[in-house]
């Protein structure tokens, strides 16, 4: 598997991006502001993430997604670790990530990759999404923010 920056002439893998974020508006917004990276296996894109500069010395990892047929193969962890290395190589000092309060697997993954919980953006998903979102039988209401000094 290769992880690489999406080429300028390539279309982002919108189907994967919408797995992690159903908001067309938000996905298009951060694709314009950030850098998109893809995981490729046998000439097929199987994973994606986007990095967005947010503040001086800080970058945010958004929209980590893996094709459902490839879940459980460690691709998500490789994407997160790759994003940390890219952020370091670009000179950032802190990397942040946010996920839903009900995203149990993602919360575990980010912590395994060295992130620590830093704060909660209460009602984030109520403010930014028109339709209710449920995951693991729990309504997604709050965004749990995590960060890591790199």
Give the pLDDT of residue 16. 96
CATH class of the domain defined by 2-149: alpha beta
**Tokens read off for 27:** 């996905």
Give the pLDDT of residue 130. 87
Q: List the chain pLDDT tens, one digit each, 150 residues.
A: 999 999 989 999 999 999 988 889 999 999 999 999 999 999 999 999 999 999 999 999 999 999 999 999 999 999 999 999 999 999 999 999 999 999 999 999 999 999 999 999 999 999 998 889 999 999 999 999 999 999
Q: Which long-range contacts (CB under 8 A, 24 or more apart) does 129-135 make?
A: 129/22, 129/23, 131/22, 133/22, 133/100, 134/102, 135/100, 135/102, 135/103
Domain boundaries, the chain: 2-149
**Tokens read off for 65:** 């997604």
Give the pLDDT of residue 71. 92
- pTM above 0.85? yes
- Residues constituting the chain: 150
**Tokens read off for 54:** 């947010």
CB atoms inside a 10 Å sphere around CB 42 = 6
Question: At 86, phi and psi to the nearest 5?
Answer: -65, -45
CA distance 58 to 3: 22
């Amino acid at each position: 598997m290769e992880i690489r920056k999406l080429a300028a002439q390539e279309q982002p893998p919108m189907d994967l991006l919408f797995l992690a974020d159903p908001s067309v508006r938000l996905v298009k917004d951060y694709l314009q502001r950030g850098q998109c990276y893809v995981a490729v296996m046998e000439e097929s894109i199987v994973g994606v993430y986007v990095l967005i500069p947010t503040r001086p010395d800080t970058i945010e990892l958004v929209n980590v997604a893996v094709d459902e047929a490839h879940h459980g193969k460690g691709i998500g962890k490789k994407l997160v670790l790759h994003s940390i290395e890219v952020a370091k190589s670009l000179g950032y000092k802190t990397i942040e990530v946010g996920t839903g309060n009900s995203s149990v697997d993602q919360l575990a993954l980010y912590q395994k990759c060295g992130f620590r919980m830093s704060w909660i953006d209460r009602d984030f998903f109520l403010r930014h999404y028109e339709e209710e979102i449920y995951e693991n039988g729990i309504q997604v209401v709050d965004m749990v923010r995590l960060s890591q000094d790199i």
